[in-house]
Structure 1
Amino acid sequence: MNDQLVSMITQLVMEKMEKNTGNQAPEVVAPPAEQSLIKIYDTVDNRPTEITESQTTSQGPLIKLYQHGAPQSEPIAPATLEQPFNTAVPIKPFQFEAESLTESVQAAKKHTPARIGVGRAGTRPKTKTWLKFRLDHAAAVDAVYGEVSEELLQKLDVFQVTTKVTDKEEYITRPDLGRRLSEESKALIQQKCKQQPKVQIIISNGLSASAIEENVQDVYLALQQSLSNLNIDIGTTFYIDKGRVALMDEIGELLQAEVIVYLIGERPGLVSAESMSAYLCYKPRIGTVEAERMVISNIHKGGIPPLEAGAYLGTVVQKILHYQASGVELVAKEG
């Protein structure tokens, strides 16, 4: 073959190969602009804080975080992937919702210790209310089943007698037995007590030994002082264990007293387990009706102060002796 022809063919083949190689080379494409993967929106001033990543994506932001209640005075620093997102919002301690009581309920709560406007948690009482209820109930049980201390009786310088009741359970279930003295007690009273006194004072735990422990000393001493100032004769005071109110009828008949003042612990409630009452009656005898009795009740630190109650009882006794009546009859005569 002609050398010149071979050279021309070779040159054409090389040019063809170079052209094909140039057509298959990858095109260099400029990377698109970086897009935000995460956008953090501050709802206070609505300024987004963006977190970018060097990797590219064709989609929009993957995560949007909204920070509610961020303080205006403290701008939020831009977050990074190495920093936890929840640290941007300050942690606040948990607080219970404030009680929203009407004005009438708030006014009533100021004038009564009763459980009103205490609220509920779902269908149940609130924990604080329930615990207070259990505490008051336990105090009421202790008041009923408790006993008056010997130290207090010695301070008052009184002797003790009993009724026909044998124990607390019988005292609660058999009120009739608490209205009668035992035979031994009758003999002891006749032996130690002054007969036919103007005023006979008797004390009993009744349904609340706590009431006697807390109040009787102040009431008794104030009553003694009041009657002494009024020149009213007082008989021999004694203490009755597990007595009922109507027991004053048998004692009145036994000692022939003109007026009996009976200091007794009242049935405890869930507001106070220390309430004491003073029952008064003019010449009580067996068969006396309740309308002939008088009572000064609610004697305790949250009701009538004991010292004030004792002084007031002296004036009531003076009125009973003056009109020779008590209860409804006294009201009628006085009116």
Structure 2
Amino acid sequence: MPDKPTAITNPWSHLRQLTPARIALGRAGTSLPTDAQLDFQFAHAQARDAVHLSLDTEELAHQLQDKGFRTLQLRSAAADRYIYLQRPDLGRRLDEPSAEQLTDHTTEHAKGYDLAIVIADGLSALAVQRHALPLLQRIEEQIEKDGWSLAPISLVQQGRVALGDEVGERLKAKMVVMLVGERPGLSSPDSLGLYFTYDPKVGRTDADRNCISNIRLEGLSYNLAAHRLIHLMREACRRQLSGVTLKDEAEVLSLEDDSPKASNFLLD
């Protein structure tokens, strides 16, 4: 009987220590080694689970309230997860009860707010469960220092990025920040995205927003994400705009003490 093919190590395998990308996996005959194939299938299953996982807004609301945040629980026009995945447009607007809830709240707070923060499951509720609260706590520290008024945190089930503009407009907020679970990848099922818009209104496009992505323990740190966001917010208030005309020129935080360095990696 012929010998079974054995796994052949790729000579570039040491480069795998520098990236989560699937490179230098080796081979067994003309196929992948068993370990690499099983690892791929496991990562694919994690990504699928992240997409279909539901966000427990009740539990998240309790966690936020324990930290001193006020909350509003809302829903998009997508009635369930299946419809949400099939109809992206329904995830971009509120359902009628949620819209009425914000109208009633605005009646009691006619002055409006400087900032509204919206948290939605997006395409990874896992990312929201893991990273939304610790990121929010770091953002709040800077909000208090700058003296901005903060609306109750809006928790949205089956929400997409553009829905933040409707929430911000209905709350009469000068700015809106949307925290949303990003589309899972095979190396990052729990990546959180942050979208910032100045003067939010229904009909805003992606060109009117600034995005800070890959917020997670293995990606962009909470401190650095909050630092970049606050810089964008300050510049947006000064220039009264956001989006493609507002660049992220925040100074880089050092890993040791979180103090700004003099250089900017985007300009170097």
Normalising by structure 1, report the TM-score.
0.66
Contact kept? 2:195, 2:209, Cα under 8 Å: yes
Structure 2: how far apart are the matches of 1:259 and 1:247? 14
SS at match of 1:243: coil
Of residues 9, 29, 36 in structure 2, which corresponds to 1:129?
36
Q: What does residue 184 of structure 1 align with?
A: 97
Q: Which AA in structure 2 matches 1:122?
A: G
RMSD after superposition: 2.3
Q: 1:163 to 1:260 in 2, by over 3 A?
A: same
Task: Choose which of 36, 45, 51 in structure 2 pairs with 1:138.
Answer: 45
Name the counterpart of 1:116. 23
2:255 match: none
Residue 61 of structure 2 aligns with an amino acid whose one-letter code is: L
Seen in structure 2, the aligned counterparts of structure 1 residues 308 and 218 have a Cα distance that, compared at 3 Å, is: farther
Q: Does 1:160 align with 2:73?
A: yes
Unaligned 5+ segments in structure 1 are 1-95
Instruction: Please state how far the C-alpha of 1:169 moved relative to its aligned partner.
Output: 1.4
Partner of 1:207: 123
Amino acid at match of 1:213: Q
Q: 1:100, CA displacement in angstroms?
A: 4.2
Q: In terms of mean alpha carbon deviation, does 185-194 or 116-125 score higher?
A: 185-194
Q: Which residue of 216, 234, 242 maps to 1:326?
A: 242
Query: What is the correspondence of 1:240-279 to structure 2 with a 5 Å cutoff?
Result: 240-279=156-195
Match of residue 220, structure 1, among 105, 130, 136: 136
Cα contact 1:216–1:306 (8 A) shared by 2: no
Residue by residue, what CA displacement relative to the aligned partner does 1:63-92 show, whole Å, maximum 9, x if unpaired? Answer: xxxxxxxxxxxxxxxxxxxxxxxxxxxxxx
Partner of 2:59: 151
CA contact (8 A) 2:10 2:24 kept: no
Q: Which has the larger radius of gyration?
A: 1
Cα distance in 1 for residues equivalent to 2:95 and 2:79? 10
TM-score scaled by length of structure 2: 0.82
Please list the CA deviations of residues 211-268 of structure 1 after superposition, one character each: whole Å capped at 9, or x if unmatched.
Answer: 0011001111111111111222211211000101111222233222111000000010
RCO comparison, higher one (Cα < 8 Å, 6+): 2
- The amino acid that maps onto 1:137 is H
